[in-house]
Amino acid sequence: MIIQTMPYPAAAEDYANLLVYPLTYDETDKDGAYALTRSGGMAITPSGFEADGFQNRLKTTSLPAWLASSTNALSVNLRAKVWANTRHTTRDVLLSIGNDDATANPKLEIGIFDDDEMRNTPVFGLRTYNGSITTRYFGIANWRYGLRWPTVGLTANGETVRPQGLLFLDSDTILVSGHYNDTESRVYKIDLTDGTVLGSFTFGLSTYRHVAAWARRANGEVWCVDYETDDALEIDLDASFASGTAVINTTWNLSNLGTNVLTGIEFVTVSGTEYVLIALYIGSSTTWLYVIPTTQIADGATFAIANRHKRFVLGRQCQGITLRQSDGLLYLSHNTNSTSANTCPIDVANISAAITSTPDGGTLAILRTHQGPSQYPEDIKFHPTTNECWVGTEGRDAVIDNEGFLAYWRSPLTDNKPVERDIRIDYDGAGNWEFWLDGLFFDDLNGVSPTIMPGQISIGGPPAASAGWANGFALASIRSVAMKDSTFSAAELAALEAGTYEPNTLTAYNVTITNPGAESGTTGWTSESGGLSTRTSNPDPRYEEGVANTAYFFGGPNAATVARQRFSIATATGLSTGEIDSKIASGDLWATARWWQTNFDETADPGTMGIRYLNGTPTTLATNYGAVTFLGMNQYWMRRSLSAAANSGSRNIDILHRMDRTSGTNNDSYHDDVTLTIYAR
Q: What share of the chain is helix, strand, coil (3-state, %, to 5)?
A: 10, 45, 45
3-state DSSP assignment of residue 535: strand
Number of domains in the chain: 3
Same domain, 454 and 565: no
463 inside domain: yes
Of 475, 501, 527, which residue is a domain's last?
501
Q: How confident is the model at residue 11 (pLDDT cuts 50, 70, 90)?
A: very low
Q: Which H helix or E strand runs over 497?
A: helix 490-498
Q: For the residues 33-40, what does the mean pLDDT come to?
A: 97
* Statement to judge: residues 532 and 648 lie in one domain: yes
Range from 87-91, 223-227, 281-285, 607-611 carrying the lowest mean pLDDT: 87-91
Give CA–CA dist 328/33, Å, rounded.
54
What are the residues whose beta carbons fall under 8 Å from the beta carbon of 571, sequence distance 6 or more?
A: none
Write down which residue in 441, 475, 501 finishes a domain.
501
Rg (CA), the chain: 27
Inside any domain, residue 96: yes
Nearest-5° Cα angle at 294, 289 to 299 = 110
Distances 674 to 81, 84, 218, 510, 615 between C-alpha atoms, Å: 19, 16, 44, 11, 23
pLDDT at 121: 79
Task: Give the integer Cα–Cα distance in Å for 578 and 576.
Answer: 5
Is residue 340 very low, low, confident or very high in pLDDT (cuts 50, 70, 90)? low
Task: Give the residue-averaged pLDDT of 440-461.
Answer: 98
Q: Sort 304 into a burial class: Cβ within 10 Å, 0-12 / 13-18 / 19+.
A: exposed
Residue 636 is predicted with a pLDDT of: 81
Q: What pLDDT is attached to residue 603?
A: 82
The SS3 assignment for 117 reads helix
Burial degree of 132 (CB within 10 A; 0-12, 13-18, 19+): exposed
**Judgement on whether residues 635 and 662 belong to the same structural domain of the protein:** yes
Beta strands in 324-373 (DSSP E): 330-334, 345-349, 368-371
Residue 631 scores a pLDDT above 60: yes
Q: Do 311 and 266 fall into the same domain?
A: yes
d(CA 409, CA 328): 22
**Single residue among 443, 469, 501 that ends a domain in this structure:** 501
pLDDT of res. 600: 87
Q: Is 530 among the domain residues?
A: yes
Q: Domain check: are 341 and 358 in the same one?
A: yes
pLDDT of 1: 44
Tell me if 22 sits within 8 A of 499, measured CB to CB: yes
Assigned domain for 407 exists:
no
Interval 564-576 mean pLDDT: 98
E strand intervals along 462-575: 475-484, 507-510, 526-529, 533-535, 552-554, 560-568
The answer to whether 567 and 653 have CB atoms below 8 angstroms apart is yes
Same domain for 312 and 194, yes or no, is: yes
Residues 466 and 377 occupy one common structural domain? no
Q: What percent of the chain has pLDDT over 70?
A: 95
Average pLDDT over residues 126-144: 95
Cα 333 to Cα 253: distance, rounded to the nearest angstrom: 23
Within this chain, do residues 209 and 78 fall inside the same structural domain, yes or no? Answer: no
605 and 645 fall within a common domain: yes
Q: What is the pLDDT of residue 634?
A: 72
Structural element, H or E, at residue 191: strand 185-191
Same-domain check for residues 22 and 94: yes
Q: For 302-330, what is the mean pLDDT?
A: 96
For residue 577, name the pLDDT band (cuts at 50, 70, 90): very high
Task: Give domain status of residue 190, yes or no.
Answer: yes
Query: Does residue 307 sit in helix, strand or coil?
Result: helix
pLDDT tens sequence across 170-216 = 999 999 999 999 999 999 999 999 999 999 999 999 999 999 999 99
Q: Which one is predicted more confidently, 384 or 632?
A: 384
Nearest-CA neighbor of 674 among 624, 613, 611, 612?
611
> Range of 540's domain?
508-680
**Rounded CA separation 489/73 (Å):** 15
Structure confidence at residue 635 (pLDDT): 78
Interatomic CA distance for residues 308 and 292, integer angstroms: 5
User: Region 12-25: what's the mean pLDDT?
Assistant: 82
Q: Give me the CATH number covering residue 274.
A: 2.130.10.10
pLDDT of 673 above 50: yes
Please indicate, yes or no, if residue 229 is contained in any of the structural domains.
yes
In a domain, 386, yes or no: yes
* CATH number for 676: 2.60.120.260
pLDDT in the model for residue 629: 81
189 and 127, same domain (yes or no): no
Average pLDDT, the chain: 93
Average pLDDT, integer, range 545-550: 84
Which of residues 4 and 342 earns the better pLDDT score? 342
Q: What is the Cα–Cα distance from 423 to 441, expressed in whole angstroms?
A: 10
pTM exceeds cut of 0.85:
yes
**Measured on CA atoms in the order 541, 543, 544, 550, is the torsion positive or negative?**
positive
**Whether residue 212 is found in the same domain as residue 268:** yes
Say if 594 falls within a structural domain.
yes
For residue 119, the model assigns a pLDDT of 55
